[in-house]
Amino acid sequence: MTDSDDHDEREVARICAEIGALGRCLPGSISARLLRCGNPKCRCRDAEVDRRHGPYRYWTRKVGGKTASRLLSAEQARRYQPWLDNDRRLRALTRELEALAIRAAERAEGWGEK
């Protein structure tokens, strides 16, 4: 086993440990939107001053290839943000594992050598 192999194995172990410690992962993102209502006489219709309603917080994600959104309270957005952060970290760690596996396969098979 080479020094590169040893290093990569330590990296795999580190990544797996970090994945194991993540906790709940919630896909998607939370966004805050300011909206105009349907009442034509409402203050939110004033074009000169931005008086839209909100901010309204939405959790948005893909479900079956389509965008799905759910309105959240400020407390729900605060509660679920760490889960969304965990999901982003999980995806980054997965990409790191994939890169390490590609490198290991290339070394093992001599791919990329001239």
Tell me what pLDDT residue 114 has.
61
Q: Block means of pLDDT (10 residues each) for the chain, length 114 residues?
A: 88 98 98 94 90 96 98 98 98 98 94 76
Q: Does any domain span residue 101? A: yes
Q: Does any domain span residue 114? A: no
Q: Does any domain span residue 39? A: yes
- Provide the number of structural domains found in the chain: 1
Q: Does any domain span residue 19? A: yes
Give the whole-angstrom CA distance, residue 35 versus residue 45. Answer: 10
Tell me what pLDDT residue 9 has.
95
Give the whole-angstrom CA distance, residue 40 versus residue 77. Answer: 30
The parent domain of residue 97 ranges over: 3-109
Q: Helix, strand, or coil here: 58?
A: strand
Q: Which residues pair with 32 in a beta bridge?
A: 57
* CA–CA–CA angle 95, 64, 75 (5° rounding): 75
